Amino acid sequence: MKTEFSPAQLADPDIAEANKILRACVHCGFCTATCPTYVLLGDELDSPRGRIYLIKEMLEKGRPPTQEVVKHIDRCLSCLACMTTCPSGVNYMHLVDQARVRIEKEYRRPLTERALRALLAWVLPRPGLFRLSMILARLGRPLAALLPAPGPAAASPTLWRRVAAMLALAPKSLPAPGAAGGSVFPAVGGRRGRVALLQGCAQQVLAPRINQAAISLLTRHGIEVVLVKDEQCCGALTHHLGQDGDALGRARANITAWLAEAGRGGLDAILVTTSGCGTVIKDYGFMLREDRDFASAAAKVSALTRDITEYVSGIELHPTQQNGDIVVAYHSACSLQHGQKITQAPKELLSKNGFVVKDVPESHLCCGSAGTYNILQPDIANRLRDRKVANIAMVGPDMIAAGNIGCMVQIASGTSVPVVHTVELLDWATGGSRPGLN
Ligand code: SF4
Ligand code: SF4
């Protein structure tokens, strides 16, 4: 794609990066076929190619984003299916991340929307506040009936529609909190390795059982696990809202905490059980590339970061349980398959450890979770969830496995089939407790 940035504009490293990405795009449009919003809405401006044009115009002209640009960028799930499909290697992720930051800085949203986004950015990364908000949301559920009835599914939802979506996502009950930061779980038998396990923010409130399963699996196979004190939310939630000041601050704090832990006791890896977080932490090196004080430390942390299934693939597991009659539909989270290009490892691990693994039709399409997307764009998100659940039903599973809490909550809201994390099944198969019962 031809670009016309001025030399002065290209002196800005972000614009120079955008220029490189834009020039790689050859307009072929292959990406449109796998873009969930284009598949649903059929509007070129809701396709990757359309959004790339909008971003190019906005950056080249140096104009503040228009309402039209914001509408189509907001509808993007950042699922990155377009990056998997693109034959020219266009890094859409870095382009749309930059567009979101610019929108956040230069576009004035209506007051109610600003308030909702500020609330999400404040509450979600703080587990204590998030837990409290889930309790309040549960209590407030009956009030949902008093909210104005939602109109027909809309691609630009009202505030009330979003509030109703938020209330609907609140779980019926909350589990007891898991282990606190600073805890160390020694390896059973001889120690073969030592890792940090990201504690996560929403996940530790909604499903602490996931990291408990990871700790049980790892320690039983000779890996010491540390929950690093002073670790924060990875910043993914605010990063995707375009609030980079907050996201980069959290990245710096985590880099400092993890490298200090590596200096104290050594770390073979920083493990992540929420693939949405893993994709962002693996990108810390890029996000902080211009920060002289953090660039090399950020690159080091990104290189140390592994999805749990990536790491466990390098360990010989010892299955003790025969689960050959259990059919597992494997839901490939976008952040894992498109963001981190991890497609086979989770399925191979499940098969090797005794499960009958089924691929889900249209597995490249997002389930609609996408961080805060199912709150901010509930109608598109619900349509994608229903499509995903219908596709999953076609393989007739006993259980659904996924590697991302956002997908797990989203899919579970549309099906009665138990949804578990891949690591819970692996833990169970190798001597841990049966998932979905505790
Ligand atoms: S990230 Fe997903 S929703 Fe956004 S343009 Fe790419 S394929 Fe479409
Ligand atoms: S597939 Fe890649 S090169 Fe083709 S239009 Fe989409 S982003 Fe551009």
Reported as a single tens digit per residue, the pLDDT across 228-244 is 999 999 999 999 999 99
Determine the 3-state secondary structure of 247 from DSSP.
helix
Q: What is the mean pLDDT of residues 183-188?
A: 97
From 44, 88, 94, mutation site for ligand 2 pocket: most ligand atoms within 8 A of C-beta: 88
315-367 pLDDT, tens digit per residue, is 999 888 777 789 999 999 999 999 999 999 999 999 999 999 999 999 999 99
In eight-state DSSP terms, residue 44 is G
Give the pLDDT band of residue 135 (cuts 50, 70, 90): confident
CA distance 82 to 142: 40
Ligand 2 atom with least separation from CA of 28 = 4
Contact between residue 301 and residue 259 where contact means Cβ atoms under 8 Å apart: yes
What is the residue-wise DSSP string for 392-408? HHTT--SEEEES-HHHH
374-400 pLDDT, tens digit per residue, is 899 999 999 999 999 999 999 999 999
What is the residue-wise DSSP string for 53-84? HHHHHHHHHTPPPPHHHHHHHHT-----HHHH
Across the chain, mean pLDDT equals 93
Give the pLDDT band of residue 156 (cuts 50, 70, 90): low
Alpha-carbon separation of residue 61 from 3, 6, 54, 226 (angstroms) = 11, 10, 11, 49
111 Cβ contact partners less than 8 Å away, ≥ 6 residues apart? none
List the beta bridge partners of residue 306. Answer: 271
Q: Distance from the CA of 28 to the center of ligand 2, in angstroms? A: 5
Contact between residue 388 and residue 411 where contact means Cβ atoms under 8 Å apart: yes
Tell me the ligand closest to 1's alpha carbon: 2
What count of residues does the chain have?
438
405-420 pLDDT, tens digit per residue, is 999 999 999 999 999 9
How many CA atoms, within 13 angstroms, populate the side-chain half-sphere of residue 305?
A: 26
Give the pLDDT band of residue 171 (cuts 50, 70, 90): confident
Find out whether the beta carbon of 50 lies less than 6 Å from any atom of ligand 1: no
Give the per-residue pLDDT at 325.
87
What does the CA dihedral 10, 16, 22, 24 come to, rounded to 10 degrees? 120
138 Cβ contact partners less than 8 Å away, ≥ 6 residues apart? 170, 171, 172
Give the per-residue pLDDT at 16.
97
Pairing of strands 399-402, 419-421: parallel
Percent of the chain with pLDDT over 70: 96
286 Cβ contact partners less than 8 Å away, ≥ 6 residues apart? 94, 302
Give the per-residue pLDDT at 74.
96
Among 48-52, 292-296, 429-433, whose mean pLDDT is lowest?
429-433
Give the per-residue pLDDT at 137.
81
Percent of the chain with pLDDT over 90: 84
In the numeric block, the tokens 């393989």 are attached to 395
Q: What is the mean pLDDT of residues 17-21?
A: 97
Residue 343 burial (CB count, 10 A): 15
Residue 237 burial (CB count, 10 A): 25
Amino acid at 426: L
| Backbone φ and ψ of 135, nearest 5° | -65, -45
First-to-last alpha carbon distance for the chain, in angstroms, is 54
Contact between residue 408 and residue 297 where contact means Cβ atoms under 8 Å apart: no
Give the per-residue pLDDT at 150.
57
Give the pLDDT band of residue 438 (cuts 50, 70, 90): very low
CA distance 20 to 17: 5
Exposed, middle or buried, 318 (CB in 10 Å: 0-12/13-18/19+)? Answer: exposed
From 28, 79, 82, mutation site for ligand 2 pocket: most ligand atoms within 8 A of C-beta: 28
418-427 pLDDT, tens digit per residue, is 999 999 999 9
Q: What is the mean pLDDT of residues 154-183?
A: 80
Read off the tokens for 321.
């349980």
Give the per-residue pLDDT at 154.
53
Find out whether the beta carbon of 55 lies less than 6 Å from any atom of ligand 2: no
Give the per-residue pLDDT at 264.
93
CA distance 404 to 272: 10
CA distance 147 to 165: 11
Gyration radius from the chain CA atoms: 21
Among 136-145, 201-210, 284-293, 423-432, whose mean pLDDT is lowest?
136-145
Give the pLDDT band of residue 149 (cuts 50, 70, 90): low
Whether the per-residue pLDDT at 23 is higher than 70: the answer is yes
Residue 92 burial (CB count, 10 A): 24
What is the residue-wise DSSP string for 199-229? --SHHHHH-THHHHHHHHHHHHTTEEEE--T
Ligand 1 atom with least separation from CA of 37 = 3
Q: Distance from the CA of 255 to the center of ligand 1, in angstroms? A: 29
39-97 pLDDT, tens digit per residue, is 999 999 999 999 999 999 999 999 899 999 999 999 999 999 999 999 999 999 999 99
Ligand 2 atom with least separation from CA of 27 = 5
From 3, 49, 53, 55, mutation site for ligand 2 pocket: most ligand atoms within 8 A of C-beta: 49
Give the per-residue pLDDT at 151.
56
